[in-house]
Chain A
């Protein structure tokens, strides 16, 4: 099999193969990584998270299926899981399109490097599309490696005929691949036509906003869309508008149509999936072809030097020249670097997702209400995502080769640099999360309890910032990144196993404390003491700390034990 694939690959043109391999490697920005980074290991960790998700989905589906006795209930549950899997797949594809935002279109570097070479534009185009499709294909396979067989098997069992498993299997994979291709191609179509219609400079500015908007939209739809996968919910007249607008339900209907389980009168929903799929594919193909013909020329003609914005150039002061330098460098890196903006948006999306759901509840209730444990947990989670999110983005470098300037201008102790990093964490993560929480608490009563909670939240922000600074002897955005050190899988599961229960526990204690002055005073004292303790600990360690700019793996000494 391997030899056959290799033979087929070898039949492809050499220039196509070389370009395709290069474009696939650009999924990650290699310049951001430490020189000793293991890129395959890093990608493997992401694949591991997706495989783990697939296993969890399969397990939940199987356990849920077995625990139900009624065949109708079992079918309903399987269909609910099927929709959930389609929606999750669309979210993953959405995140992939955001992370590889301009990867399918020719960028300036490609044009300048490849234009003088005898490489036809259609080879570049096909190599780029193939590279994106290959990575997308891997994402689809890993996320469905277990659930892609378990769910069709269980649906097939309910039908009882020998061919039903194969029918469900085909329906499942067609729906999943169709939903993924629809979303990916839709984004390409929008991007492509925006690039064609707008002047190049305006497009580049708008593209960054579109990228963030797409990111927010994918997450908001995933977390906020209602569950309408049961036949009753689908048939309800008030849900018809929502069904017509939510593509995940179109492909859910497509699955049911191919599987033979589509309720009567919902063919229109499956037809939407087919039409949407066809339009997205044609739109993407047309926009890509036109882009390669027209924008490659535009890119070459684009002037190197884009004039800066005229008018006022605000230079705020953050209480000290070093603090100001690091705060401004942080905010500029965060807002101007695409990779950093997207990485931080990932965490901010959770913050805003929680904020949106709180706002929805607030708008629904109308009148002033009391503080609930749900509100407390939500604000804790917002603070946690904001602070830890910014801390993890701080670890991604913006330009390693330019770091020499920080090293030759280090005229103050490392302690001062670490204090400046603390200032940036509090200013750009803890403070916005706190202000957002304060805004969302506006309709809550009594005001004294709201103020008390905001005080606890401020202390929590400080504690989290101090926790983030333990061992972080770096200037934000300047140290090389060593994939694997952060151990994505461990962090991912630790969050669900440790952070979430901890937030629930603290919120319950706080809710009780808000009603008793003494208990609240004790709780605030514990928080303040923890924050001060961590502050002192970090301060003590910072005195002997040395700033570093290169993340190195821990040395492993292997002994042969010959002397023993």
Chain B
């Protein structure tokens, strides 16, 4: 289980994440939601160990991750928000490098890379430079790199970004399948329909603070709202969206 206890992160004194506590359990897909700048990606980076917390504790399987960061990283698979890759490498070279950095056995890693490239329809382009890959292809490379070592904890930050419809459907099922096999899945997205379909529970962040942490069903009944979109709008959207759209159109016409 992944557990965050009173986690905070301050940049130059300004709180990006403020005293956040929640947990993500094995067998569940936990949705992590929030508007732009709410602190979702900062939390994800703290969970991966990319940035340090200002305060609080992150535990995995009951142990603080800092106690044995390398062992923790062995069980972690991470898809970042932006598909930043070494674009001078080919897809196959990049994945092989990740497998080598993870110290995976050569034969096993080759088989997994080859199989996943085939399943993600990237096998024909595996020797092309990543600089020529579309956003969706890069996203698939990130997914393969995050999953090839069979991690116990999977962090997905906007994993559907740039994927075509077929790949998105495969990924949606894959996330559920992985959770069903006992993985801890923390999934951040702005696509509320997808979150509603695949997540068992959601955590909503607003201005760096936790505003909801419960199952979608319970939130619906507590707030007496029919959809996750309505719940999210009520909890984390401050503006009157229709009025804002009118103002933008007026500004263009002015």
A333 to B104, CA, bound (A): 23
Are A325 and B128 within 8 A (Cβ)? no
Are A405 and B70 within 8 A (Cβ)? no
A306 to B125, CA, bound (A): 9
Q: Which of A309, A315, A322, A408 contacts B50 (CB 8 A)?
A: A408
Which B residues contact A (CB, under 8 angstroms)?
48-50, 70, 73-74, 76, 78, 80, 82, 84-90, 92-93, 96-104, 106, 125-129, 132-134, 145
Residue of A nearest to B96 (CB): A315
Residue of B nearest to A333 (CB): B88
| Residues of chain A with a CB closer than 8 A to B89's CB | 329, 332
Are B84 and A401 within 8 A (Cβ)? yes
Distance in Å: Cβ of B169 to nearest Cβ of chain A: 23
Are A404 and B80 within 8 A (Cβ)? yes
Question: Which stretch in A14-22, A409-417, A512-520 binds the other chain?
Answer: A409-417
Distance in Å: Cβ of A323 to nearest Cβ of chain B: 9
Residue of B nearest to A323 (CB): B100
With A321-B104, A321-B106, A337-B88 already in contact, 20 other A-B pairs whose C-beta atoms are closer than 8 Å: A304-B132, A304-B134, A305-B134, A307-B125, A308-B90, A308-B125, A309-B127, A313-B127, A321-B103, A322-B101, A329-B86, A329-B89, A399-B84, A402-B87, A404-B48, A404-B80, A406-B101, A409-B73, A411-B74, A411-B101
| Residues of chain A with a CB closer than 8 A to B80's CB | 404
Distance in Å: Cβ of B143 to nearest Cβ of chain A: 13
Residue of A nearest to B149 (CB): A409
Are B88 and A398 within 8 A (Cβ)? yes
Are B100 and A324 within 8 A (Cβ)? yes
Distance in Å: Cβ of B186 to nearest Cβ of chain A: 14
Q: Which of B50, B73, B88 contacts A332 (CB 8 A)?
A: B88
Are A404 and B129 within 8 A (Cβ)? no
Please report which residues of chain A, range 336-358, place their CB below 8 angstroms from some CB of chain B when the two chains form the complex.
Answer: 336-337
| Residues of chain A with a CB closer than 8 A to B103's CB | 321-322, 411-412
Q: Which of B70, B90, B127, B134 contacts A411 (CB 8 A)?
A: B70
Are A404 and B127 within 8 A (Cβ)? no
| Residues of chain A with a CB closer than 8 A to B96's CB | 315
Are B93 and A408 within 8 A (Cβ)? no
Distance in Å: Cβ of A43 to nearest Cβ of chain B: 26
A484 to B93, CA, bound (A): 34
Distance in Å: Cβ of A201 to nearest Cβ of chain B: 11
Residue of B nearest to A340 (CB): B88
| Residues of chain A with a CB closer than 8 A to B49's CB | 407-408
Q: A407-B50, A408-B50, A411-B73 are in contact. Are A305 and B128 (CB under 8 A)?
A: yes
Q: Which of A303, A307, A402 contacts B85 (CB 8 A)?
A: A402
Query: Interface residue count for A (Cβ, 8 Å)?
Result: 33
Q: A305-B125, A322-B101, A337-B88 are in contact. Are A410 and B134 (CB under 8 A)?
A: no
Q: A305-B128, A307-B128, A410-B73 are in contact. Are A402 and B100 (CB under 8 A)?
A: no
Are A332 and B133 within 8 A (Cβ)? no
Q: Which of A307, A325, A332, A399 contacts B100 (CB 8 A)?
A: A325
- Can you identify 9 A-B contacts, CB atoms within 8 angstroms? A306-B129, A313-B92, A321-B101, A322-B100, A399-B88, A402-B85, A402-B86, A407-B50, A410-B70
Q: A315-B96, A325-B97, A405-B145 are in contact. Are A411 and B102 (CB under 8 A)?
A: yes
Q: Is A438 an interface residue (CB 8 A)?
A: no
A401 to B96, CA, bound (A): 19
Residue of A nearest to B124 (CB): A307
| Residues of chain A with a CB closer than 8 A to B90's CB | 308
Residue of A nearest to B109 (CB): A321
Distance in Å: Cβ of B124 to nearest Cβ of chain A: 8
A308 to B103, CA, bound (A): 26
| Residues of chain A with a CB closer than 8 A to B70's CB | 410-412
| Residues of chain B with a CB closer than 8 A to A408's CB | 48-50, 73, 76, 78
Residue of A nearest to B45 (CB): A404
Distance in Å: Cβ of B129 to nearest Cβ of chain A: 7
Chain A 125-156 interface mask (CB, 8 Å, partner B; 1/0): 00000000000000000000000000000000
Q: A399-B84, A408-B49, A411-B70 are in contact. Are A308 and B126 (CB under 8 A)?
A: yes
Distance in Å: Cβ of B211 to nearest Cβ of chain A: 28
A309 to B129, CA, bound (A): 10
A407 to B128, CA, bound (A): 25
Please report which residues of chain A, range 490-530, place their CB below 8 angstroms from some CB of chain B when the two chains form the complex.
Answer: none
A155 to B241, CA, bound (A): 78
A361 to B62, CA, bound (A): 72
Q: Is A328 an interface residue (CB 8 A)?
A: yes
Distance in Å: Cβ of B179 to nearest Cβ of chain A: 21
Distance in Å: Cβ of B47 to nearest Cβ of chain A: 10
| Residues of chain A with a CB closer than 8 A to B92's CB | 313
Distance in Å: Cβ of B115 to nearest Cβ of chain A: 17
- B80, B97, B102: residue with the most chain A Cβ atoms closer than 10 Å: B97
Q: A304-B134, A305-B132 are in contact. Are A409 and B101 (CB under 8 A)?
A: yes
A324 to B97, CA, bound (A): 8
